[in-house]
Amino acid sequence: MSIYQVNEKGYYGPFGGAYIPEMLYPNVQELREEYLKIMAEKSFQEEFNQLLRDYVGRPSPLYHARRLSEKYGATIYLKREDLNHTGAHKINNTIGQILLAERLGKKRIIAETGAGQHGVATATVCALKGIQCAVYMGEIDIQRQAPNVARMKMMGAEVIAATSGSKTLKDATNEALRDWINNPVDTHYIIGSVVGPHPYPDMVARFQSIISEETKKQLLEKTGRENPDIVLACVGGGSNAAGMFYHFLDDESVKLYAVEAAGHGVDSGESAATTALGKEGVLHGSRSILMQTEDGQVIEPYSISAGLDYPGIGPQHAWLFKSGRGNYVSITDDEAMHAGLELTRLEGIIPAIESSHALAYLEKIPFKGDETVVVCLSGRGDKDLDNYMKYFDF
Amino acid sequence: MNKIEKKEETPLLSIYFTAGYPDLDSTLHIAKKLEDAGADFLEIGFPYSDPVADGPVIQHSSEVALGNGMTLTILFEQLRHLREQVSIPVFLMGYVNPVLQFGVEKFCEACKNAGVDGVIIPDLPMYEYEELYQEIFEKNGLANIFIVTPQTSEERIRKIDNLSNSFIYLLSSNATTGKTLDVGENTNAYFKRIHDMQLKNPLIVGFGISDKATFQKASTYTTGAIIGSAFVKRLNEQDYLEKIPEFIKSIKD
């Protein structure tokens, strides 16, 4: 049993657990008892793998980015999650959870979304399965992310505005939890990241672990070695990073970089760099690290990237940070935007601004020249074109 | 610790309100007025930025209270004078994160010093309570109140009954606060089912109780009931303190 994976009590070191009101206990307990059993069923695995292959388009390519490599003086590969159906890694998890929900006999799906990527990935699998879907989205995000709202509606999902608190991702998550409390029997909540009460962080990480599973195989084919020297991924809640790190956690020779969003700068007061600014606490059902006041009130984060704009991180990340297994670093809005443009100009790939944070950190690593590096390109930048255009005044 | 028990035939009425709402220093004024008006015990909420078990009314009161500057430190400062003015049992209710930041041990000691009888923390699960905090609570003579819902298994209810030493918070339905009690047969059967388990702790019903009819319905098989949102809603009216006796009267008489 890896010390970096969840233990039988639902904890990663001191982090994790299930800090939920009694109203959610039966739902979470049911998941806890069933998720590993269902995921191990042959029929589940067959359907999951078939959908990942034929519907999502997996395996996603591991692309040797030659001009990027030349610029930084290392052999850099991009794990192309941006090429998945719906444009990001999010669908790996929603495919897994919809199959699980179906086997639990659930008739209705709810989800939270920030930028709308997870909402779209959830609405997609609900359309695929003909299951009723409601997505909670902050009122402010609904205004900022109109194309994704349209995609969800087109797929038949109901998009419900979260009008409480700061009207963004944190509040959309609160509203989804409230919905689940009020509809405990027939509804499954598809959480989009490695956050929430146990078993969500572990379940979502397992569904996303396909990213590192494929990377190992592809790297072996291309280089004769399974393991790279360095792996980079961005972290909001942390689901693409959890999937990208999963099969490398126990190989301590693989250096892991988790890149948070520093917004206008870690000390600017407008940031989402959770490990730099946060303290241990409980949010959305698990004990982790979160940005909060001295009085334990959650602080609203800021990042230009809606997908990284979350005041906490998943409990596994909190543990990788605290144990020193992962290097938790941060990148500002400006650094990320320039890295996004750079990839576009060097490789002809427009990355999501989230993924641009991981790319931007390449500049900060003093490469010796012989390292093999994998960057998780978690999503494509179509949704961010407006932002890029405005930022660079194109 | 004050005992939660009926002194006469009439069921017990508890009122919930959020500390620091509508004004930072309204906490003790409201508490005193409620006691004078005939409330049998009180739940004082300490506000949190992300109250997932609460509906719009208590979300709003929490937001205003935080905006007024309410913190646990300020609340305990106010509660230093609690027992000079209020003698009925008092419970604090809120979410776990502010308690963790304040420090669980310090929190329990502050409750004890203020004369608080117990706490209700919906997102502090039974497992964590037993493993980490039960000893600290007991050392300070502080009751931890557990919640039971229509979905809670009999085995778990028995366990909760064993861990409890004040009352059990019986949720009228699986819902967030501020909904209306379903007065149908199902709810009745659920209350009766728990009543017939003959637990050692009294049952107090919460969530969905808003007026005399729902209060009486909820108290048929239990020791009493709690009104939260329906009371908090009235605190943004003019002269809200003066109107408290009338509200309590409308429920109890």
Q: What SS3 class is residue B212?
A: helix
Catalytic residue among A112, A175, A335, A354: A112
Q: Which residues of A touch B149 (CB under 8 A)?
A: 22-23, 25-26
Could you tell me the CA-to-CA distances from A75 to A214, A329, A359 in Å, in that order? 18, 21, 14
Overall average pLDDT of the B53-68 stretch:
96
Q: Which residues of B touch A23 (CB under 8 A)?
A: 53, 147, 149, 151, 171, 174-175
| B contact set with A (CB within 8 A) | 48-53, 55-56, 59, 63, 66, 71-73, 95-102, 122-125, 127-128, 146-149, 151-153, 156, 171, 174-176, 179
Q: Which residues of A touch B104 (CB under 8 A)?
A: none
Total beta-carbon pairs less than 8 A apart between chain A and chain B? 108
Overall average pLDDT of the B39-51 stretch:
97
- Write out residues in chain A with pLDDT < 70, as ranges: none
Under 8 Å between Cβ of A202 and A6: yes
Compute the nearest-CA separation of A326 from chain B (Å): 25
Q: Which residues of B touch A19 (CB under 8 A)?
A: 96, 123-125, 128
pLDDT score for B28: 97
Domains of chain B in sequence order:
12-146+209-252 (3.20.20.70)
For the question of residue A47 being annotated catalytic, the response is: no
A236 closest CA partner among A179, A285, A307, A171: A307
Rounded to whole angstroms, the Cα distance separating A352 from A118 reads: 14
Q: Are the beta carbons of A296 and B63 separated by less than 8 Å?
A: no
User: Does the pLDDT value for residue B172 go beyond 80?
Assistant: yes
Q: Which residues of A touch B147 (CB under 8 A)?
A: 21-23
Percentage of residues in chain A having pLDDT higher than 90: 94
Overall average pLDDT of the B49-78 stretch:
97
Compute the nearest-CA separation of B77 from chain A (Å): 14
pLDDT score for B92: 98
Q: Are the beta carbons of A295 and B102 separated by less than 8 Å?
A: yes
pLDDT score for B2: 80
- Angle of helix B185-195 relative to helix B212-219, nearest 10 degrees, comes to 40
Least confident of A15-24, A258-267, B82-91, B185-194: B185-194
Q: Could you identify the residue written with the tokens 């909001």?
A: A236
Least confident of A147-156, A294-303, B4-13, B79-88: B4-13
Give the pLDDT band of residue B253 (cuts 50, 70, 90). confident
Q: Tens digits of per-residue pLDDT, A238-252?
A: 999 999 999 999 999
Q: Are the beta carbons of B148 and A19 separated by less than 8 Å?
A: no
CB atoms within 10 A of CB B48: 24
Residue B66 identity (one-letter amino acid) = L
Q: Are the beta carbons of B53 and A181 separated by less than 8 Å?
A: yes
Percentage of residues in chain B having pLDDT higher than 70: 100
- Angle of helix A315-323 relative to helix A200-208, nearest 10 degrees, comes to 80
Compute the nearest-CA separation of A161 from chain B (Å): 14
pLDDT score for A48: 98
Q: Tens digits of per-residue pLDDT, A334-366?
A: 999 999 999 999 999 999 999 999 999 999 999
pLDDT score for A280: 98
Interface test with B, best of A295, A299, A300, A310 (most B CBs within 10 A): A295
Interface pTM, i.e. ipTM: 0.94
Rounded to whole angstroms, the Cα distance separating B60 from B47 reads: 10
pLDDT score for A167: 85
Could you tell me the CA-to-CA distances from A221 to A74, A243, A252, A374 in Å, in that order? 19, 20, 22, 14
Closest Cβ–Cβ partner in A23, A280, A284 for B171: A23
Overall average pLDDT of the B11-25 stretch:
98
Compute the nearest-CA separation of A17 from chain B (Å): 8
Q: Are the beta carbons of B122 and A22 separated by less than 8 Å?
A: yes
Compute the nearest-CA separation of B37 from chain A (Å): 32
Closest Cβ–Cβ partner in A19, A26, A295 for B71: A295
Q: Is A43 left (phi over 0), alpha (psi -120 to 50) or beta?
A: alpha
Q: Which residues of B are part of the catalytic machinery?
A: 43, 54
The secondary structure element, H or E, covering residue A52 is none
CA nearest to B151 within chain A = A26
Interface test with A, best of B123, B164, B170, B207 (most A CBs within 10 A): B123
